[in-house]
Structure 1
């Protein structure tokens, strides 16, 4: 019986540690300070192509508060290279198209550590649609 109590305490502690880490890295205003000179985000809807962790509904919910209604999308002329996009003339990357508000785009920027770890670039999907995509610096 005493082992069950320690198991429960250990599981609870681990769960709290994981949630604390996720909050600190994904949502906390204390761990990301955008570099000077980043362009301001225009109000209105933004379209973002995602090809990594943001394909998962739980991650999107944690990052910007909702899972949204993503659509399948393809970016041609690239291939995935670990956590980045690499130019590949005959390549294509399957991902999702997200439609987000300016506030949600700012949260995506914080998650991707815009200006520190990633840059946000304009890309053209295979259907001709202009979207934002995050590329490693």
Structure 2
């Protein structure tokens, strides 16, 4: 194997491996069945408050198919606790608001494993707007502790 081929293989293998892992674990429609008890998604646009990995445009591009514009936002009365938000009077969480279509919201639901790991709730932001926020399900948090 030539040196150039070896260098190219070393450069391409990690991103391809990461992309494959993301596809199979979080993005694949084959590894997530939307629970039947969840209500249908209303037509968009929808505003979503993001406070974790979805703050990064590259992650949004992979998950939704576009990076989408975002704007800074604050969620009062909560603090970040690992992958979740905990109610905490007097505290606030820095995040961003993104506007998405109903199709993109369905992709975010799949990424967050709505109904399995997270629930999506409407919360009021500091500026008075309401936005969807993903909150960890109690059962999903208990599984992490086992």
Question: Same-fold call, TM > 0.5?
Answer: yes
Give TM-score scaled by structure 2 length: 0.86
The two structures, once aligned, show a CA RMSD in angstroms of 1.6
Name the SS for the 2:103 alignment partner: helix
Deviation of the 1:16 alpha carbon: 2.1
Name the SS for the 2:31 alignment partner: coil
- Contact 1:49–1:133 (CA<8 Å) still a contact in 2? yes
Between the two proteins, the alignment pairs up a number of residues equal to 137
- 1: distance between equivalents of 2:100 and 2:84? 21
Deviation of the 1:2 alpha carbon: 5.9
More helix by share: 2
- Contact 1:26–1:62 (CA<8 Å) still a contact in 2? no
Deviation of the 1:36 alpha carbon: 1.8
Give TM-score scaled by structure 1 length: 0.92
Deviation of the 1:25 alpha carbon: 2.7
Deviations 1:4-41 (A, max 9, x none): 65454344333322111122233311111111210100
Name the SS for the 2:21 alignment partner: helix
- 1: distance between equivalents of 2:12 and 2:102? 36
Aligned to 1:21: 21
Stretches of structure 2 lacking an aligned partner (at least 5 in a row): 138-146
Stretches of structure 1 lacking an aligned partner (at least 5 in a row): none
Name the SS for the 1:30 alignment partner: helix
Aligned to 1:118: 118
